[in-house]
Structure 1
Amino acid sequence: MPPSSTGTRPAAPSRRPALRKTIEQIEHETESHGLTRSLSAFQLTMLGIGSTIGAGIYVMTGTAAAEYAGPAILLSFLVAGLACLFTALSYGELASTMPVAGSAYSYAYVSLGETFAWAVGWLLLLEYGISCAGVASGFSGYATSLLHDLGVQVPAFLASSTLHSTVTADAVQIAAGPRLDLVGATAVCVVTGCLILGAQETARINAAIVVIKIGVLLLFVVFGLGAMHRANWTPFIPPHQGGFRFGVPGIFRAASVIFFAYVGFEAVSTASSEARNPRRDVPIGIVCALVVCTLVYLLVASVLIGVVSYTRLDVADPIAIAVDAIGQPWLAILIKLGAVIGLCSVLLGLLYGQTRIFFTMARDGLLPPAFCRLHPRWNTPWVGTILLGVLVAVATAVLPIDIISDLVSLGTASAFGIVCFTVIWQRNARPDMHRPFSVPGGGVRIGSLWIGIVPTLGIAFCVIMGAPLFVDMARALLLGNPVPMILLGGYTVTGIGCYLLYGRRHSALRRTHDTGL
């Protein structure tokens, strides 16, 4: 926007939150990012699979089945997978037209403006950074169990988080103790070191881990098929017990819980600036990763429920419980080893995605420049990677997985909904833009407004995923348990404060706008 004729610009504070980047601006910035383009479509797919198959299937599936859905957890996976499919297709179109780093943050900067872009970036910290603490907690549980089987005893106070939560009928009780989860924190530090070495090296490590992880899960399926009991599937949908416990409401509540299991597939979009051919390879990587992960989830969950009654699965290592029921001790050790290795690949993918999002935000001035400072040899944002690694390691040592998983799912649903909206906005704002990949299904026109079927369904399913989470938080508040709302409110207030005190004052786009450059 040009400056006024007097050479100055009115403050117009009401217009400032709508400051947007153009697609051309983002593409120009991407060409000068300094990162190395080295990732192929196969490596991007493996990054998506590695980032996705982890704590969701190894930990949260058992909780969701035992507390909400029973054997109907399979329907919950389909609901959550369908929600992610619509979002994945929307991601595919945006990635083909805007092959840039930053994922949903960059897309929101184009469609909704800077303030919303910051909000999305803050939500993505939940989805990537904070969820890493949950993944690392799952790693700690399986690693400790594996070491126990091998005759190595890890003291409980070195493998448990400082805060511990106990779930009752109407409340979540939080207690603190003299303990630190150093096992999980150490895993985060090791993964952080791998990320500093570069995207290509990280991709090679991740690809090897994914092959091992998928192989071990398929081995569990093969041996578990012969140990399944038909009685464990009856009733398929347990009778409704009020609230979101079982019945049809339980299916959707469980879907919102295992939505946590899908948060990694979009990590592919954060790699756009390091993909060899992002317009073609990123959409392929996103969709292929989602399809493969959904199929693996359905297979593993089917066997898990068939081998062990869902009432016994509200534990930190439900697959290990099922393997013990199969009666193959060697398989138990192999499954736990696969879980430990597999969760490492999730940490790699999620931390990678978070560092690239913060890299983009720092280039925009919304975060300190340390997050976009590149290593002179490896061309990676090494200082930001170390800072994030330390943050996640501390969160792992202190926070238990179950008090952050709902926040992660809520943040993910919100970010996904904005991605779907961006497709609709871009189609109306830039209808003539070349789109190497377009969402299928077309759309309808209301006057001059184009409404896409796929992105609209994506928004609807994101609401379906997020609504039970928020309702449960509100219900807990009314019943005298303010902990979930305090966490949500505290995180929101912190994000607003960071933007007002730093991001807004240092925004590169805002400085350009104010000076008329």
Structure 2
Amino acid sequence: AVGWSGYLNNGIQALFGAGLVETLLHGPWEMTSGGDTGIVNLPALAIVAALGVLLAKGAKISAQFNAVMVLVKVAAILLFLAVAIGHLEPSNWTPFIPAPVTDPNGATHFGWPGVLTGAATIFFAYIGFDAVSTAAEECENPQRDLPIGILGSLAVCTVLYIVVSGVLTGIVPYTELKTASPVASALLKVGEEWAAGLIAIGAIAGLTTVMLVLYFAITRILFAISRDGLLPPFFSHISERTKSPVRVIVTIGAIMCGLAGFLPLDRLAELTNIGTLGAFVVVCAGVITLRRTHPNMARGFRTPFGPVIPLLGIGFCLWLMASLRVETWQAFGVWLIAGLVVYFSYSMRHSKLAGGTTRPLA
């Protein structure tokens, strides 16, 4: 949502020559370009609220909206590549991996340590792929459709990420890309104002689809957790009119509004990444555990090569987590402790699945 806000402002600047009030684009822990303290990221709040309303109206409307936004996003990517290719400066790629630099706080930037930190920071770009599995109940043949959807989209998007990142750093030095909307900003720097405005619109569409998918996924995950009894039944309530878990949507939306409106982008990215990486560690460990505790369970999809892939997943996730800042680990620890308190005080005693009152998952 914070990145969406940045691209919205870039698009308005490119199209109308002036942007939004900067204090309403930053939270209180950020400074504007004029040296003022931010108040609240108002566009970020607005888009989260709007997506919450859209999700509350039902999955069908959300899916139709998402399909249109995906088309706009792909068109924007192709437009960027077509326009930017004529501004490539190979010298911007030299050195390809800059020498490491240590700042006054002791943190190391650039070099291979910087590559690792960068990988951990941009990991949120891959979060949406696992969210495909949350739509299993809507698939006609989930055993076939889910692996194809996850692996196929992962392959296509990885190629696009690499190409766009390479071209982006080829038209503008990487030192000038520290902004919430780097693609549009880079085009503005090379004099392609018209394209920057269109790209900003495409980026807005792209980020909107990402937010919509993740918002949808987290509401369905919490709904399923509540349905199992791990959370109070309040969160598993379904609206009779829209057939959506409106209570979960409103609760999650309120939390996201608070985070997006008041925290800076880099902190949000790291908090998101360490939480997701930690969840992936648990999932990989769960695959190994289920193989041993429920060897005869019917499985729609079976991870190949036994425990090798889950162990590699655990190793790589922990490796990326180790490169994040101490403050991020501290925040992660607080959330982890809060989750454990909820589990041991409520979830463990109310779980229907653990008590055998629901059917095993295939």
Alignment of 1:28-47 (within 5 A): none
Contact 2:120 2:323 in 1 (8 A): yes
Contact 1:361 1:367 in 2 (8 A): yes
Is 1:462 the counterpart of 2:290? The answer is no
Is 1:491 the counterpart of 2:335? The answer is yes
Aligned to 1:306: 170
Aligned to 2:360: none
Aligned to 1:210: 70
Amino acid corresponding to residue 490 of structure 1 in structure 2: V
Amino acid corresponding to residue 492 of structure 1 in structure 2: L
Partner deviation per Cα, 1:177-229 (whole Å, 9 max, x = no partner)? 56122211111111111111222221121111111101101211121111111
Aligned partner of 2:26 among 121, 146, 160: 160
Q: Secondary structure at the match of 2:30?
A: strand
Amino acid corresponding to residue 334 of structure 2 in structure 1: G
What is the CA distance between 1:141 and its match in structure 2?
A: 1.2
Partner deviation per Cα, 1:106-144 (whole Å, 9 max, x = no partner)? xxxxxxxxxxxxxxxxxxxxxxxxxxxxxx111111112
Contact 1:165 1:403 in 2 (8 A): no
Name the CA distance, whole Å, in 2 between partners of 1:420 and 1:165: 40
Aligned to 1:228: 88
Name the CA distance, whole Å, in 2 between partners of 1:201 and 1:509: 32
User: Residues 290 and 510 of structure 1: is their aligned pair in 2 closer, same or farther, counting only changes over 3 Å?
Assistant: closer
User: Residues 156 and 361 of structure 1: is their aligned pair in 2 closer, same or farther, counting only changes over 3 Å?
Assistant: same
Contact 2:29 2:37 in 1 (8 A): yes
Alignment of 1:167-178 (within 5 A): none
Aligned to 1:39: none
Aligned partner of 1:179 among 36, 39, 44: 39
Partner deviation per Cα, 1:327-362 (whole Å, 9 max, x = no partner)? 222101001111111111111101100100110111
> TM-score normalized by structure 2?
0.88
Is 1:404 the counterpart of 2:268? The answer is yes
After the TM superposition, which parts of structure 1 deviate over 6 Å for at least 4 consecutive aligned residues?
510-513
Contact 1:195 1:385 in 2 (8 A): yes
Q: Secondary structure at the match of 2:318?
A: helix
Aligned to 1:241: 101
Aligned to 1:147: 12
Contact 2:10 2:184 in 1 (8 A): no
Name the CA distance, whole Å, in 1 between partners of 2:211 and 2:45: 11
Contact 2:12 2:197 in 1 (8 A): no
Amino acid corresponding to residue 155 of structure 1 in structure 2: V
Amino acid corresponding to residue 143 of structure 1 in structure 2: L
Amino acid corresponding to residue 322 of structure 1 in structure 2: A
User: Residues 353 and 464 of structure 1: is their aligned pair in 2 closer, same or farther, counting only changes over 3 Å?
Assistant: same
What is the CA distance between 1:484 and its match in structure 2?
A: 3.7
What is the CA distance between 1:253 and its match in structure 2?
A: 1.6
Contact 1:159 1:182 in 2 (8 A): yes
Aligned partner of 2:150 among 286, 290, 308: 286
Name the CA distance, whole Å, in 2 between partners of 1:149 and 1:259: 29
Q: Secondary structure at the match of 1:374?
A: coil
User: Residues 434 and 206 of structure 1: is their aligned pair in 2 closer, same or farther, counting only changes over 3 Å?
Assistant: same
Partner deviation per Cα, 1:22-77 (whole Å, 9 max, x = no partner)? xxxxxxxxxxxxxxxxxxxxxxxxxxxxxxxxxxxxxxxxxxxxxxxxxxxxxxxx
Name the CA distance, whole Å, in 2 between partners of 1:506 and 1:438: 29
Name the CA distance, whole Å, in 2 between partners of 1:404 and 1:196: 25
> TM-score normalized by structure 1?
0.63
5+ long unaligned stretches in structure 1: 1-135, 167-174, 444-451, 474-482
Aligned to 1:219: 79
After superposition, the CA RMSD in angstroms is 2.5
Q: Secondary structure at the match of 2:323?
A: helix
Aligned partner of 2:3 among 128, 135, 138: 138
Higher deviation after alignment, 281-290 or 150-159: 150-159
User: Residues 176 and 355 of structure 1: is their aligned pair in 2 closer, same or farther, counting only changes over 3 Å?
Assistant: farther
Alignment of 1:425-504 (within 5 A): 425-433=289-297, 435-440=299-304, 442-443=305-306, 452-469=307-324, 472-473=325-326, 483-504=327-348
What is the CA distance between 1:272 and its match in structure 2?
A: 1.4
Alignment of 1:36-115 (within 5 A): none
Q: Secondary structure at the match of 1:468?
A: coil
Q: Secondary structure at the match of 2:137?
A: helix
Q: Secondary structure at the match of 1:163?
A: coil
Alignment of 1:238-387 (within 5 A): 238-242=98-102, 244-387=108-251
Q: How many residue pairs get matched?
A: 350
Aligned to 1:64: none
Name the CA distance, whole Å, in 2 between partners of 1:418 and 1:150: 46
User: Residues 181 and 268 of structure 1: is their aligned pair in 2 closer, same or farther, counting only changes over 3 Å?
Assistant: same
Aligned to 2:279: 415
Aligned partner of 1:195 among 33, 55, 64: 55
Amino acid corresponding to residue 289 of structure 2 in structure 1: W
Name the CA distance, whole Å, in 1 between partners of 2:142 and 2:30: 43
5+ long unaligned stretches in structure 2: 358-362
Partner deviation per Cα, 1:492-516 (whole Å, 9 max, x = no partner)? 3332333344434544457779xxx
- Report percent identity of matched pairs: 38
What is the CA distance between 1:278 and its match in structure 2?
A: 1.6
The structure with higher relative contact order (CA 8 Å, sep 6+) is 1
User: Residues 499 and 453 of structure 1: is their aligned pair in 2 closer, same or farther, counting only changes over 3 Å?
Assistant: closer
Name the CA distance, whole Å, in 2 between partners of 1:279 and 1:148: 47
Higher deviation after alignment, 255-264 or 177-186: 177-186
